[in-house]
Structure 1
Amino acid sequence: MAGLEHSGTRGTRRPAATPANALTDALEAIRTGAYVVDEQGRVIAMNSLTRELLGWAPEDLLGHDAHDLLHRDPHGHPLPRTQCRMRQAFHARRTAQAEEDHFARRDGSVLPISWLITPFDLVGLERSTLVLFHAWHPAEADSPPEPAATLLPELERLALLAATTTQLTSTLDVDEALRRLVTLVVPRLADWVIIDLITERDEVWRTVVVEADGTALVRHDELQGPMPPVPEESPMPLSRALRGVASTLAGPQTYQGPPDSGIAVEQRRLFDATGIHSAAIAPIRSTRAVLGALTLGRAKQDGNFNTVDLPLIEDIARRAGLALDNARLYQRQRKVAETMQNHLLPQMPRVPGLQMTVRYLPAPDASQVGGDWYDAFSLSDGSTALAVGDVVGHDLEAAAGMAQVRNMLRAYAWALPEPPSRIVDRLDEAVMHITDVAMATLILAKVEEADEGRWKLTWTNAGHPPPLLISHDGLAEYLTDGHGILLGTGARRPRADATVLLPPGSTLVLYTDGLIEEPGHTLDQGLHRLRQHAAALAHRPLASFTDQLLRRVRPAANDDDVALLAVRAPTRD
């Protein structure tokens, strides 16, 4: 569609936080030197302690090969790559650690270090690697190491906490956050994980019961479900955790006595069913409330949890609580926004002789509401107005702007018995002066019955993707006439109208750009895909045609909402 004056709106949205920025914030929570490299070994993020220990400024590290810049032998000479244990682990994509190595400082000295390296994949930062290190004095090498008394060595513990923070905070889906939490803790810390969550109605739900069976994770649905209410005074471990009181150790014997609550009965059932011989239970808290409890259990694994293990489990549960709280808030906003959008979009009028159907699909990964809209309404002269538009933005402000534009369009179209181009001219002038809408695209059409039972379509296009007309026999063409500039530019250029007679049984499709635009592909490719599938579906009933068209054409990588209005002319008797 060369020469088409399409003006998209997606590039004007607010920039999102990048994965690297979020990662840098997460690394600051680690209490040792920490940095992340990409798949070429270049530094992409670091915490402030790394800079303090090594003396390098951020611009000295970011984008540079970590091995070439930092890795040295004890005398400060560059370390050949073939002799670098860290480099070997990096290329093999495996976790490794070393007690004695050396990094170059900015002042030319060398820093004796211990390090741990582990693969660290995140959405947007695939095949990255986390490096943790801490400094030591050579005299420490002569001192016998203290026995490890916790679940994991210090560097592995910090690596786990870093992974917990970054993986959980990089999703705003509650179910996905729970799935990631499970894979982080089993079988690394335990062979059972149980997550009890407190719902917004203050009910407890046993949401996750998962067992590590070798390398497989087995979900036990029969142990999940609603739980009794949280007792106010019970001293039992899970009850205390669900009140946010404390982390506690537990075992089968903990719940063998007379139960003091329904939760105690469910806990006895859990221990009996799973064979857990040792458990650690920690509250899942956000800054605002107690969200639930995390239980790690050992059945097949040897050894019992002890009190020195609790700080690590508490840290994991606390990070999980912050991530879950953010995800819940986001989903609540999405629900409110979706409800608002559904109330803003109108019901379609019944037009004798015409079939009409509409669809609205919100963006899958955004705020579930945006500026895309459709409308159809009767006019004072007996014709029917059809409209599809897109207000710049993808948030509640865009939805509010959409409502303003749509309502003003209805008022002008009803009051002014003029062609669509004149109505849109008046709308454009009003948008500039009495709304906060920055820019918008729009198609306004008028459909009316003509001679011999045929239907006439008259339209004007303000910077919007062109309508598509498909004959009953599957001939599809874009209606590129009547095209002009989008709303809100301030340019006073004359707008044109175009007219066409709808062939009997033909289908008219008005849509927004989320149906055809896809990252990495041209607009022409999206338009071709739409035309090809619409032609193939021309024989389908209108509802099936519309649903299948959305399913086939909407890009898998779509990050925009889609509004679609389809109209079918009657066939000849």
Structure 2
Amino acid sequence: MTEPKTAGTGPDRSRGASDARLTDALNAIGTGAYVADEQGLIVAVNSLTERLLDRPAEDLIGQDAHELLHRGPQGQPLPTSRCTMRQAFHAGQPAQGEEEYFARGDGSLLRISWLITPYTIAGPGAGTLVVFHTPEAGPPTEPGPERAERMSDLERLALLAETTTQLTSTFDVEEAQRRLVRLVVPRLADWVVIDLITERDEVWRTAVVQADGDTLVRHEDLQGPMPPIPTESPMPLSRALRGVASTLAGPETYQGAPDSGIAVEQRRLFDATGIHSAAIAPLRSTREVLGALTLGRAEKPGNYTIADLPLIEDIARRAGVALDNARLYQRQRAVAETMQNHLLPQMPSVPGLQMTVRYLPAPDASQVGGDWYDAFTLSDGATALAIGDVVGHDLEAAAGMAQLRNMLRAYAWSQREPPSRIVERLDEAVMPITDVSMATLIFARVAEMDDGHWELSWTNAGHPPPLLIDHNGLARYLTEGHGLLLGTGVLGPRPDASTPLPPGSTLLLYTDGLIEAPGQTLDEGLHRLRQHAAALAHRPLPSFTDQLLRRVQPPGIDDVALLTLRTPPREEAG
């Protein structure tokens, strides 16, 4: 839980972060660029587009790009049947055009050349990237006469834009590599090789992929660990792995006596693939060298030249930054998840009661760390249950969660008082003693009565209500005992509530990651949870818990903590 929120704010935050990354990627392009979704609505623009079109981003985003911008030479609206850009958009194919016109915000016309290419938008799905420039401004040019023959400036800019947007929209290292492969083959090469340096300074050949027509074939026999990086070797891959320079290479480069184990592997690569020309560039972040990218031509005619290196270096530089971000993200996620798992307790063994717990970390590392559960035996023999969600995420939230849990345990053990009074004391201490700003919490006690039946008493500090399902599948939310969340500074009496737990009934305590989903209200999430929980009431408790998670399918916007408890069936009660 990042902050007190209403339904839908979690997904909005996630989408907002994705849109911000997309805008940053477009701003790295040296000409006008925008992205449209599958309906043709603009979802992101760069700052140069705002200047060229004399329109602020808020006047562009959400508008139909064709209807808002595309015009004929005299400023007349352009029918979609005559719009080559719109036709290519619907066909999902790359296309480009010259001498066309966009309408500016002041009513004047902007003469443009354009190129569009399809690509995947993070979250919504299919999208289209539009890159345009004016003849007056002109796009940046590359040195070398062969450049215009092989790839136009607009195509180059579109490829770089697509590289940035594709790679920055994932924080998974393997997925980033797969996207990089699809970007460069067969467009620039028919072979691509990726060598990465691990955190232990070992080199792994993580990808050797061939473009066989439109099919990408992975050659796993050529992948795997590589020899160490030689410190002084002048050979192309060795230099790239040291971050020295981009270089051209061919089979003849490695025909002499090898100066290192890497040179031996390179000779094997050229022999096995038939590559006759290769360009090798370092994969670098702002902090370190991450590896090397090799593009190779075996079936494609012609050799790479020096004029090809700036484009390949630019792609490798953007890929290096994306891979470094993905590595940092995964490292952060692993630390937070490990800390969270170590802090979450083992469940006590209570005669007559079954308990099962699950914790699902969010895919986004920034969303890990705030959710927790607890169960422990109280000094009077009753069993305490707790479920909570601390404002914030990552290590700070995990540490705050540990503080809150430990204080709750101490109060609950030493003070033989109702749950409401325990949570009142906890709320009084949250602000002056802990690093927790706000949190939601359910604190409950389960006790066996003299007649052998079980009773639940609880207080709720701003948390989603517990769900109680009897053995016949009748399910109801326990909405009583509800009060303010912790840390508001508004102190006062809190309500208590109690209810009998029927024989064979199941109690479900959970965090909001289980019921929040994009495009869905909290009421819809609560209804879905109750529906599936009721249908699974007859399952053994571990199966009930796992099947419930599988059916509800938490969307992964937030982490999920889940605690389920079941009382003994009627024949065992008493």
Whether the aligned pair in 1 keeps the contact of 2:96 and 2:115 (CA below 8 Å) is: yes
CA distances 1:472-502 after superposition (whole Å, capped 9, x unpaired): 4444333333333332334445333333343
Task: Specify the alignment match of 1:308 in structure 2.
Answer: 307
Letter in 2 for 1:248: T
Cα 1:74–1:386 change in 2 (3 A) is: closer
* 3-state SS in 2 of match to 1:330: helix
- 1:14-53 equivalences under 5 Å are 15=13, 17-39=16-38, 41=40, 43-51=42-50, 53=52
Whether the aligned pair in 1 keeps the contact of 2:40 and 2:65 (CA below 8 Å) is: yes
Cα 1:503–1:117 change in 2 (3 A) is: closer
* 3-state SS in 2 of match to 1:328: helix
* 3-state SS in 2 of match to 1:200: coil
Shift of 1:42: 5.2
Whether the aligned pair in 2 keeps the contact of 1:459 and 1:498 (CA below 8 Å) is: yes
Cα 1:149–1:261 change in 2 (3 A) is: farther
Q: How far, CA to CA, are the matches of 1:69 and 1:554 in structure 2?
A: 39
CA distances 1:251-283 after superposition (whole Å, capped 9, x unpaired): 222222222111111112212222222111111
Q: How far, CA to CA, are the matches of 1:457 and 1:415 in structure 2?
A: 20
Shift of 1:530: 2.7
Cα 1:331–1:447 change in 2 (3 A) is: same
Shift of 1:546: 2.0
1:560 aligns with 2:558: yes
* 3-state SS in 2 of match to 1:24: helix
Indicate the larger mover: 537-546 or 75-84.
Answer: 75-84
* 3-state SS in 1 of match to 2:374: strand
Letter in 1 for 2:563: L
Indicate the larger mover: 347-356 or 410-419.
Answer: 347-356
Whether the aligned pair in 2 keeps the contact of 1:12 and 1:392 (CA below 8 Å) is: no
1:469 aligns with 2:460: no
CA distances 1:377-432 after superposition (whole Å, capped 9, x unpaired): 12222222111112223333332322222111111111111111211122222224
Task: Specify the alignment match of 1:264 in structure 2.
Answer: 263
Letter in 2 for 1:279: A
1:525 aligns with 2:513: no
Cα 1:376–1:19 change in 2 (3 A) is: closer
Q: How far, CA to CA, are the matches of 2:552 and 2:87 in structure 1?
A: 45
* 3-state SS in 1 of match to 2:187: coil
Q: How far, CA to CA, are the matches of 1:367 and 1:64 in structure 2?
A: 31
Shift of 1:209: 1.2
- 1:224-239 equivalences under 5 Å are 224-239=223-238
Cα 1:376–1:36 change in 2 (3 A) is: closer
Shift of 1:357: 2.2
Cα 1:73–1:420 change in 2 (3 A) is: closer
Q: How far, CA to CA, are the matches of 2:146 and 2:35 in structure 1?
A: 29
Letter in 1 for 2:568: P
Task: Specify the alignment match of 1:393 in structure 2.
Answer: 392
* 3-state SS in 2 of match to 1:210: strand
Q: How far, CA to CA, are the matches of 2:10 and 2:101 in structure 1?
A: 47
Whether the aligned pair in 1 keeps the contact of 2:8 and 2:516 (CA below 8 Å) is: no
Task: Specify the alignment match of 1:357 in structure 2.
Answer: 356
1:370 aligns with 2:369: yes
- 1:50-69 equivalences under 5 Å are 50-51=49-50, 53=52, 66-67=65-66
* 3-state SS in 1 of match to 2:323: helix
Shift of 1:74: 5.3
Letter in 1 for 2:220: D
Q: How far, CA to CA, are the matches of 2:51 and 2:475 in structure 1?
A: 65
Task: Specify the alignment match of 2:141 in structure 1.
Answer: none
Q: How far, CA to CA, are the matches of 2:91 and 2:295 in structure 1?
A: 31
Task: Specify the alignment match of 1:570 in structure 2.
Answer: 568
Whether the aligned pair in 2 keeps the contact of 1:7 and 1:486 (CA below 8 Å) is: no
Cα 1:112–1:358 change in 2 (3 A) is: closer
Shift of 1:326: 0.6
* 3-state SS in 1 of match to 2:181: helix
Letter in 1 for 2:564: A
Task: Specify the alignment match of 2:330 in structure 1.
Answer: 331
- 1:22-171 equivalences under 5 Å are 22-39=21-38, 41=40, 43-51=42-50, 53=52, 66-67=65-66, 71=70, 81-103=80-102, 112-124=111-123, 126-136=125-135, 148=147, 151-171=150-170
The number of residue pairs the alignment matches comes to 561
Cα 1:487–1:32 change in 2 (3 A) is: closer
CA RMSD of aligned residues (A): 3.0
Letter in 1 for 2:486: L
Shift of 1:332: 0.6
Task: Specify the alignment match of 1:348 in structure 2.
Answer: 347
Shift of 1:347: 1.8
* 3-state SS in 1 of match to 2:120: coil
Shift of 1:222: 1.6
* 3-state SS in 2 of match to 1:131: strand
Shift of 1:95: 1.8
- 1:204-243 equivalences under 5 Å are 204-243=203-242
Whether the aligned pair in 2 keeps the contact of 1:7 and 1:441 (CA below 8 Å) is: no
Q: How far, CA to CA, are the matches of 2:361 and 2:509 in structure 1?
A: 17
Shift of 1:449: 2.8
Letter in 2 for 1:440: A
Task: Specify the alignment match of 1:141 in structure 2.
Answer: none
Indicate the larger mover: 414-423 or 485-494.
Answer: 485-494
Indicate the larger mover: 112-121 or 282-291.
Answer: 112-121
* 3-state SS in 1 of match to 2:207: strand
* 3-state SS in 2 of match to 1:367: helix
Shift of 1:185: 0.4
* 3-state SS in 2 of match to 1:129: strand
Q: How far, CA to CA, are the matches of 1:271 and 1:85 in structure 2?
A: 43
Shift of 1:194: 0.8
Whether the aligned pair in 2 keeps the contact of 1:13 and 1:392 (CA below 8 Å) is: no
Q: How far, CA to CA, are the matches of 1:462 and 1:201 in structure 2?
A: 46
Shift of 1:230: 0.7
Letter in 1 for 2:262: I
CA distances 1:147-195 after superposition (whole Å, capped 9, x unpaired): 6456412111111001001111111111111111111001111111110
* 3-state SS in 1 of match to 2:509: strand
Whether the aligned pair in 1 keeps the contact of 2:147 and 2:308 (CA below 8 Å) is: no
Q: How far, CA to CA, are the matches of 1:70 and 1:8 in structure 2?
A: 36
Cα 1:477–1:36 change in 2 (3 A) is: closer
- 1:489-500 equivalences under 5 Å are 489-492=488-491, 494-500=493-499
CA distances 1:25-74 after superposition (whole Å, capped 9, x unpaired): 22232223333344555555444444555555656655555555654555
CA distances 1:427-483 after superposition (whole Å, capped 9, x unpaired): 222224433433322221122232244333322222322223333444433333333
Task: Specify the alignment match of 1:289 in structure 2.
Answer: 288
Whether the aligned pair in 2 keeps the contact of 1:515 and 1:553 (CA below 8 Å) is: yes
Letter in 2 for 1:358: V
Cα 1:565–1:235 change in 2 (3 A) is: same
Cα 1:347–1:182 change in 2 (3 A) is: same
Whether the aligned pair in 2 keeps the contact of 1:255 and 1:264 (CA below 8 Å) is: yes
Q: Taking structure 1 as the reference length, what is the TM-score of the superposition?
A: 0.89
Whether the aligned pair in 2 keeps the contact of 1:516 and 1:554 (CA below 8 Å) is: no
Whether the aligned pair in 2 keeps the contact of 1:149 and 1:308 (CA below 8 Å) is: no
Cα 1:200–1:366 change in 2 (3 A) is: closer
- Note the residue ranges of structure 2 that are not aligned, 5 or more in a row: 138-143
Shift of 1:569: 2.5
Indicate the larger mover: 343-352 or 318-327.
Answer: 343-352
Whether the aligned pair in 2 keeps the contact of 1:462 and 1:485 (CA below 8 Å) is: yes
Shift of 1:109: 6.4
Whether the aligned pair in 2 keeps the contact of 1:516 and 1:530 (CA below 8 Å) is: yes
Cα 1:419–1:112 change in 2 (3 A) is: closer
Shift of 1:89: 2.9
Task: Specify the alignment match of 1:424 in structure 2.
Answer: 423
- 1:403-482 equivalences under 5 Å are 403-482=402-481
Indicate the larger mover: 242-251 or 433-442.
Answer: 433-442
Cα 1:11–1:401 change in 2 (3 A) is: farther
Shift of 1:111: 5.2
Shift of 1:226: 0.8
Cα 1:82–1:501 change in 2 (3 A) is: closer
Whether the aligned pair in 2 keeps the contact of 1:13 and 1:393 (CA below 8 Å) is: no
